[in-house]
Chains A and B, each alone.
Chain A
């Protein structure tokens, strides 16, 4: 694993992020409505004031000029101003991002912790009862959209049983252990919904990757070495089966983020997903632009991590 390789990949990421930002910007520029449409519609504000405001923020400039303004501002660390929240966009995102990352991170960990052993067991015992049950559950989990499972869980655990809070509260009043306890209680459902959805598709990937590997010659070689079935599976099967799984997980990140947006909306988790939806409803263009751009950065970053992991897992990949 060379540092050069990673640096080169980082450099390659820059043009792709620029490309993404151009597309995002154009799409948002074409979309109807802008932050000032409400001001313009407000009879209390004189048209001249509205017009000067529009001029001040450059809203009537051509798209390419606005894009260049945005880009140079971004490069200087100025992410713009949220008209709806009356606060700088970067502060807003920094407030919201940790929550999202924690929920997504916990969900991913849950997905991996559940899917890896289940997928491996199913793949090593194809068509056994265990495999069939796991497959069926995975299929169900994979087919149910997160908004449905989310509402189902809320109905069951919040409304019927009243065990878990229905709405995520970002400003818990307690501190210390009670705070942690509350935090866990309110995170359980979003994390479960997202994690199990992810886990369901992961189980299928892991299973098929394991099925592909167990038939290979070197697994028979490993068995002939008398090192025990357990070691054969963990060292020789799982290790190589993980290589394609890592790529698939990375490619799935956009789906994870969209799942996170929906989940945050359902459970009222104040992350950047719900921020994005709120911003869209308020025509808060700078926020929409910034949040989608953050998502794009995260996706690119996960691809990079996957590439690095891939190279680490598979010595046949050379970094030239």
Chain B
């Protein structure tokens, strides 16, 4: 049995807004084992980022709050931890990289300084040693001429290069888990592949686990061992990657997989990309039953009466649908 690193149980992260309570994450269960890559997919606004940030407690409180649930990190619940204890986990045990490389680095410090800052804090290195280590990190993420680039400011780097810097920074304390929140969405297609490859390489080198958040099902198929599909603040399906693509059970997952652009077919039949009709329901007052019901072509009476329970449909394959 694989060792579970992170185990999120029934997590509810809500936001108090002027319009009411936004149930951005509303009872999410997921776990990540040592050494594996878990993909988290779902449409925009389904709560992927909020889930990711909740793990490191990077949610602004207020307006956010943890309504319920546990975030077990190697068996210890992070939710009750204070700032100081969280700071010992951040970057050192769990690191995170964000979607927007253009704005995720502080414009007024050199990239070397920003990497060194982490090392000085956690590895207790001196300023010069930390800078030297930062050069090594930049070399590791394939930034040319790192000795010189370490003194450059973020605006002197391209988007792809900045994301490399972010990865270097995240990797610098050799964390056990890397949370990557759409690390390639903002980048060019060619750069995307390079960054994903780099993350894969880092992961293998350090033997860490990864939580990869993405819109792109193609990316999931290539890099992940297991996948969690989220819809409107909830997990609707969880499966090993082969099972998910081979035998998707939830109608929403099926829709997601059908919407992957197929270069071969699209060219032949001039097919339109099959997007799922309709849009994500409001997280303000979610309907009581299955949240996908308004868009589901199989929707029945029982679907809206109550939340469909999770059921095991195969080894490690669970789905929240009455079908």
A interface with B by C-beta (< 8 Å): 216-218, 220-229, 235-236, 239-240, 243, 313-316
CB-based contact A236/B106 at 8 Å: yes
CA distance A29 to B56 in the complex (A): 69
B169 within 8 A of A: yes
Interchain CB contact (< 8 A) of B98 among A217, A228, A313: A217
CA distance A229 to B84 in the complex (A): 9
CB contacts (< 8 Å) of B121 on chain A: these are 225-228
Closest to B83 in A: A229
Please encode chain B, from 100 to 115, with 1 for each CB lying within 8 Å of some chain A CB and 0 for all others: 1001111111000000
Known: A226-B86, A226-B89. A218 touches B104 (CB 8 A): yes
User: Nearest-CB distance from B105 to chain A (Å)?
Assistant: 6
Known: A226-B118, A243-B108, A315-B107. 10 other contacts (CB 8 A): A217-B98, A218-B105, A223-B58, A224-B90, A224-B96, A226-B86, A226-B91, A228-B83, A313-B108, A315-B108
B interface with A by C-beta (< 8 Å): 53, 56, 58, 83-84, 86-92, 95-96, 98, 100, 103-109, 117-118, 121-122, 153, 155, 166, 169
15 sampled A-B residue pairs with Cβ under 8 A: A217-B103, A217-B104, A218-B104, A221-B166, A224-B58, A226-B118, A227-B117, A228-B121, A235-B117, A313-B108, A314-B107, A315-B155, A316-B107, A316-B153, A316-B155
Identify the interface centre among B89, B90, B106, B107: most chain A CB within 10 Å of its CB: B106
Known: A216-B103, A217-B104, A315-B108. A225 touches B58 (CB 8 A): no
CB-based contact B117/A225 at 8 Å: yes
CB-based contact A218/B86 at 8 Å: no
CB-based contact B106/A218 at 8 Å: yes
CB contacts (< 8 Å) of B105 on chain A: these are 218, 221
CB-based contact B108/A221 at 8 Å: no
CA distance A229 to B103 in the complex (A): 20
Interchain CB contact (< 8 A) of A226 among B88, B103, B104, B153: B88
CA distance A112 to B90 in the complex (A): 34
Interchain CB contact (< 8 A) of B87 among A227, A235, A243, A315: A227
CB-based contact B155/A222 at 8 Å: no
CB contacts (< 8 Å) of A239 on chain B: these are 108
User: Nearest-CB distance from A245 to chain B (Å)?
Assistant: 14
CB-based contact A225/B153 at 8 Å: no
User: Nearest-CB distance from A64 to chain B (Å)?
Assistant: 49
User: Nearest-CB distance from B268 to chain A (Å)?
Assistant: 42
User: Nearest-CB distance from A115 to chain B (Å)?
Assistant: 21
User: Nearest-CB distance from A102 to chain B (Å)?
Assistant: 33
Closest to A219 in B: B106
Closest to A223 in B: B58
CB contacts (< 8 Å) of A220 on chain B: these are 53, 58, 98, 104
CB contacts (< 8 Å) of A235 on chain B: these are 109, 117
Closest to B152 in A: A315
Interchain CB contact (< 8 A) of A221 among B92, B106, B153, B155: B106
Known: A224-B95, A226-B87, A226-B91. A240 touches B118 (CB 8 A): no
CA distance A27 to B19 in the complex (A): 58
CA distance A236 to B56 in the complex (A): 19
User: Nearest-CB distance from A137 to chain B (Å)?
Assistant: 24
Interchain CB contact (< 8 A) of A240 among B58, B88, B95, B107: B107
